[in-house]
Amino acid sequence: MTTVLVYNNVTGRIERYYRSLSSPMPYTSGTILTVGEFRGSSRANIIWTDRRFMETFAAFRRYYGKIIPVGYAFKRIWEGGHGRQSQHYAGGSFDCGQVLSAAGRRALWNSARSFGRWSYVEPRSLTPTWVHFDKRLSPPACATGGYITVSYGSRGVYVLILQDALNALGYTGSGLDGIFGNRTLSALRRFQRENGLAADGICGCRSWQAITSQALGIGKTPTVID
């Protein structure tokens, strides 16, 4: 069983599901997107996404009109495999079409572009053997893109990334609940103090850069919650 955390932007709550790899992801149905496809090559027992990301994928499936073969979607940041502030760690990115012909991938890419609801569709020259598209929340904390600023009271997938990264780095106590409360605040402040950052407890551009670069791809440490 895999624990799937979903931030529900309608209720403001983090929902918790326990699902087998062959069952559908929350807010999708049938075989549109299974937990196993979404988990991809991740070995994590706890994975997450946002209701909006799942609903966008389901809407894109209807728009495209065919099965979308998903190769990879989710990864935990300590597992690495993607860039420093990749939306794959947020549960909002999909790498698809590895099994399609070149013409099939071109059709999927064109459809993802014309769909108009993905935040980003990677140029085909960058990923010629798959199609990457993602949904992300904005505005990003850094002008160059990436994650939104999170602070006390924030909820959702970016808080989960922050908690996961802090836990992996040994700044424990913040749990893995997607809610930025007192324990996340003190863990972040401790990280900021020990890394020469202003200990304001706000995870903005500089804190994200420091945290994600330290946590990226370091593997499952003894302090990871999974």
Q: How far is the CB of 196 from Zn ion (least distance, A)?
A: 32
Q: Considering only residues 37, 50, 79, 95, which one is a binding residue for Zn ion as defined by CB under 5 A?
A: 95
Question: Does residue 79 touch Zn ion according to CB under 5 A?
Answer: no
The 3-state secondary structure of 183-219 reads: HHHHHHHHHHHHCCCCCCCCECHHHHHHHHHHHCCCC
Scanning 39-47, 94-102, 152-160, 209-217 for contacts with Zn ion by CB under 5 A, the matching segment is 94-102
> Whose Cβ is closer to Zn ion: residue 93's or residue 154's?
93
Q: How far is the CB of 128 from Zn ion (least distance, A)?
A: 13
Scanning 58-66, 91-99, 168-176, 209-217 for contacts with Zn ion by CB under 5 A, the matching segment is 91-99
Cis peptide before 139 (omega within 30 of 0): yes
> Who's near 8: CB < 8 A, 6+ residues apart?
14, 15, 51
Q: What are phi and psi of 205, to 5 degrees?
A: -55, -55
Q: How far is the CB of 18 from Zn ion (least distance, A)?
A: 27
Scanning 39-47, 90-98, 110-118, 201-209 for contacts with Zn ion by CB under 5 A, the matching segment is 90-98
Write out the DSSP string of 19-76: E-TTSBPTT--TTSSBHHHHHTT---SEEEEEHHHHHHHHHHHHHH-S---EEE----
> Whose Cβ is closer to Zn ion: residue 35's or residue 70's?
70
Give the binding-site size for Zn ion (rule: CB under 5 A).
3
Sheet strands side by side (includes 2-8): 13-19, 2-8, 46-50
Q: Give the residue closest to Zn ion by C-beta.
A: 132
Q: How far is the CB of 132 from Zn ion (least distance, A)?
A: 4
Q: How far is the CB of 144 from Zn ion (least distance, A)?
A: 17
The end-to-end CA distance of the chain, in Å, is 12
By rule CB under 5 A, what string of x and - marks binding of each residue 107-146 to Zn ion? -------------------------x--------------
Q: How far is the CB of 217 from Zn ion (least distance, A)?
A: 15
DSSP three-state, residue 81:
coil
Q: Which residue type sits at 54?
A: M
Residues that bind Zn ion (CB under 5 A): 93, 95, 132
